[in-house]
Structure 1
Amino acid sequence: MKNKWLQIALSVLSLGLAVLLVIYLPQLVQALTGKQVSWAEIGRLFGSISAGQIALMTGLWLLSLLAYTFVLTNSLPGLNNLQALTLNAAGSAVSNLVPFGGAVGVALSWAMTKGWGFTSRPFVVMTLVSGVWNTLFRFILPAVGIIALLVAGRVPNAAVANAGWTGAISILVLCVVVAVALYWDRAAVVLGKGLDKVTRLLRLKIHASEAFHRLRADTADVVRGRWPGLSLGMVFFLGFQWAIMAACMQATGAWPGLAESIAVFALSRVLTSALVTPSGAGIMETGVAASLIYFGAGDTPAIATALLFGFWTYTIEIPFGGLALGAWALLRRRNGRNAGAEPPSAISKATQ
C-alpha cells in the first residue's frame, strides 16, 4: 500500500509539474530572452490557424501512427496493423499520464496481446526488439540534427564545427556497430569483448557481454528477418513527426529553415526522455521554444509552435489511447459473453 500510494503521489506531482511548466512557459521564455509574451497573444496566433492547416496536421498525425504500427507488426509476427495501432495508442496514453509509465504500459500491452492469443515469449521478443530500435533511432536523431546544422553552416566557428562532426560521426558509428552486432555473430563477439573492457575500466560489477549475448539470443530471429521493416517503420514514423513539427512552424510563422527544423525536432525527441514529467511534458515544450528563439523565431510563434507540437505528440494521445483501450475492453467483454453463450456442442466443434 505504501508503494502504491507513493506511486500515486509521484504521478500527481509529476503531472502537476508538467502542467505548471506549460502554464508558465511564457514566463520561462521571458526569463531566457527578456521579452514578455502573454497568453492572449498566443491565443490570437492560434486563432489565425486555418482549417486546412489543422486538417494537414491531423493527416500527418494519423500517418505517423500508421507508420509505427509496422514497427510493432515486424516485432511481433502475427500482429495486424489494427491491433498494433490499438496497442501503441493504449500504451502511449498510459506513458503520457504516469512518470516511469513504461512498466505500466508493458503490463497493459501484455494483457492485450495475451487476449489476442499471443504467448509470453513472442511478447517479450516484441518488447525487446521495439525497445532496441527506438533506442537506436533516439541516438541517431541528435547526430542527424548536428549534421543538418553543420551542412547549413549554422555553427559559430571551425572548432565547433570540427567537434560537431566528430560527435555526430561517433554517434552514428556506435549505432552501426550495435546494429551490425545484433545481426552478425562475429561482430557480436568483438562488441562483447569491448563492453567487458569498458566495464572493467569503470570498475562496474556487471557482465555486459553476457547481457548483450542474451539480448541477441532473444531477438536474433526477428532482427535477422525483419530489420528492414523495423527500420523503415521508424524512419517513416519519425519523418511524419518531423512533418507535423514543420506544419506547426509554418502555421505559426516560426519556420527557421530546413536544417534548423531538423535540429529542433531532434532535440524535442531527446527531451521526451526526461523522466521528471510523463514523456518529458513541459520540458520538451520549453526546449523547443528556446531553440526556435535561438534560431531567430519570434517569442510568440516559438511558444505557439512548441505548444501545438506538444498537443499532436503528447496531449491528443491520451484521449485517443483511452478510446482505443475502451474499444478493446468492450470487444473483449462482448467476445467473452459470446463464448459463454455458445452451446457446448458448438464450442467442442470449434476446438476440434
Structure 2
Amino acid sequence: MKNKPLQIALSVVSLGLAVLLVVYLPQIVRALTGKPVSWHEIGAVFGTLSFGEIALMTALWLLSLLAYTFVLTNSLPGLTNLQGLTLNAAGSAVSNLLPFGGAVGVALSFAMTRGWGFANRPIVVMTLVSGIWNTLFRFILPAVGIIGLLMAGEVLNPTFVKAGWTGAISILALCAIVAAALYWDRAAVVLGKALDGLTRVLRLKVHASDAFHRLRADTAEIVRTRSLGLSLGMVFFLGFQWAIMAACMSATGAWPGLAQSIAVFALSRVLTSAVVTPSGAGIMESGVAALLITFGVPGTPAVATALLFGFWTYTIEIPFGGLALGAWALLRRRNGRNAAAESPSAISKAPQ
C-alpha cells in the first residue's frame, strides 16, 4: 500500500478497533455465551498471580522466541540465532501494529538482512520457505485440535464426530501432499497437473503448475537439506506457545483438559490471521474466551486466560521488537560512521 495517508488512517482505525474489542471484551463474551464477566473480577484474578507463575510464563515466552530463530536460520544459511531473534522481534512488532503488517514486516526483514550482507535471492528464499512452513503448520494445528477433542470424547454427536474425523484427516492429507511435492520431483509433477486441472475446471487464466515449479526451483535446496530443522523449529515454537497458554490456564484456574487446551490453542493461532485488527488482536481473545466457556470454564477465568495469553503472544512483542529494531538501527548507524571515518590516508606508511 503506497498511499501513506490511507495507510496511517487504516492503522489508526485498526488499532482503535483492537482496543475497543479488548475494552468491551466482558460485554462481548457475555453476548456470545451469556456468562456475566466484569473487569473488577478479571483484575482480582490477575492479582492472584504469583511471581513464580509470571517467571514461568516469561521463560516460556523467551524459549518460544529462541525456538523460532531456528526456522529463520535454517531458511537463510549464515544467519545467526541472535540475528534471527532480532529479525523475528522487529517483524513481529511491525505486524502487531499495522493492518496487513506482514508486508511491511517482509520489507523490514529485507532491509535488515541486506544490512547484514545477504544477497537478494537468499533473502527471497528465506521469506518463501519460512512462510510456507508457517502456513503448513497453521493448517496442521486445527487438525491436531480436532483429533484431540475426538479422542478425548468431547464431541458426542455422531454426525459431528464423522465430520470432525473427515476434516482432520483431509487437512493432514493436504499438508502431506504439499510437503511431498516440495520435496519429491514425482509428487511435484502430479500436484502440478492436478493444479492445472483445477484451474481449467474453475476457468482461471493462470498456469498454476508453472508457478508451483518456479516456487520449487527457488526453495528446492533449502527444503531438501533443512526441512527437518525447519519442522523442529516450528514444533518447538508452537509447543512453547501452547505451554504459555497452559501456564495461563493453570494460573487463572481455567484448565479445561489437555485435548481441550490444544483445541483452544489451535483456534487462537487461526484467529491471529484475522486482518481486521493487527494480528487479530481482540478477535483472538474473544474466540479463546468463548471456547473455554464452551468447555465448562467459568467466564471470569476464561477471559483472564485469553487476555493473559494475548499479552504474551501480542502485546509484549511490540516493546520488545521496538528495542530490537532500535538496537539494530543504532548499530547500523555506528558501523556506517566507522566505515565513513576510514580512508586511504589513514593507512600507515612503511617505516623508512
Instruction: Give the alignment's TM-score, normalised by structure 2.
Output: 0.97
- 310-319 or 199-208, which moves further after superposition? 199-208
The amino acid across from 1:88 in the alignment is N
1:76 paired to 2:50:
no
Name the structure 2 match of 1:242: 242
Alpha-carbon distance between aligned partners in 2 of 1:38 and 1:98, rounded to the nearest angstrom = 29
Per the TM alignment, residue 34 of structure 1 is displaced from its structure 2 partner at its CA by 2.1
Name the structure 1 match of 2:251: 251
Per the TM alignment, residue 156 of structure 1 is displaced from its structure 2 partner at its CA by 2.5
Alpha-carbon distance between aligned partners in 2 of 1:301 and 1:142, rounded to the nearest angstrom = 23
Query: Equivalent residues in 2 for 1:1-352 (5 A)?
Result: 3-344=3-344
Alpha-carbon distance between aligned partners in 2 of 1:345 and 1:157, rounded to the nearest angstrom = 82
Per the TM alignment, residue 196 of structure 1 is displaced from its structure 2 partner at its CA by 1.0
Per the TM alignment, residue 35 of structure 1 is displaced from its structure 2 partner at its CA by 2.6
What secondary structure is seen at the aligned counterpart in 1 of 2:97?
coil
What secondary structure is seen at the aligned counterpart in 1 of 2:117?
coil
Task: Sort the Cα spacing of 1:344 and 1:207 in 2 relative to 1 into closer, same or farther, 3 A.
Answer: same
Per the TM alignment, residue 32 of structure 1 is displaced from its structure 2 partner at its CA by 1.6
- 124-133 or 332-341, which moves further after superposition? 332-341
Alpha-carbon distance between aligned partners in 2 of 1:246 and 1:343, rounded to the nearest angstrom = 57
Structure 1, unmatched stretches of 5+, are none
Alpha-carbon distance between aligned partners in 1 of 2:244 and 2:17, rounded to the nearest angstrom = 25
The amino acid across from 1:234 in the alignment is M
Alpha-carbon distance between aligned partners in 2 of 1:257 and 1:247, rounded to the nearest angstrom = 13
Alpha-carbon distance between aligned partners in 2 of 1:224 and 1:149, rounded to the nearest angstrom = 34
Matched residues, number: 349
Instruction: Give the alignment's TM-score, normalised by structure 1.
Output: 0.97
Alpha-carbon distance between aligned partners in 2 of 1:35 and 1:101, rounded to the nearest angstrom = 34
Superposition misfits of 4+ residues, deviation over 3 angstroms: 345-348
Alpha-carbon distance between aligned partners in 2 of 1:307 and 1:108, rounded to the nearest angstrom = 28
The amino acid across from 1:50 in the alignment is S
The amino acid across from 1:297 in the alignment is V
Q: CA offsets per residue over residues 164-191 of structure 1, 9 Å max, x none?
A: 1111001001000000100101100000
The amino acid across from 1:264 in the alignment is V
- 119-128 or 35-44, which moves further after superposition? 35-44
Query: How high is the sequence identity, in percent, across the aligned residues?
Result: 83
Per the TM alignment, residue 341 of structure 1 is displaced from its structure 2 partner at its CA by 1.9
Alpha-carbon distance between aligned partners in 2 of 1:123 and 1:242, rounded to the nearest angstrom = 29
Per the TM alignment, residue 346 of structure 1 is displaced from its structure 2 partner at its CA by 6.5
Q: CA offsets per residue over residues 8-37 of structure 1, 9 Å max, x none?
A: 111111111110000000000111222321
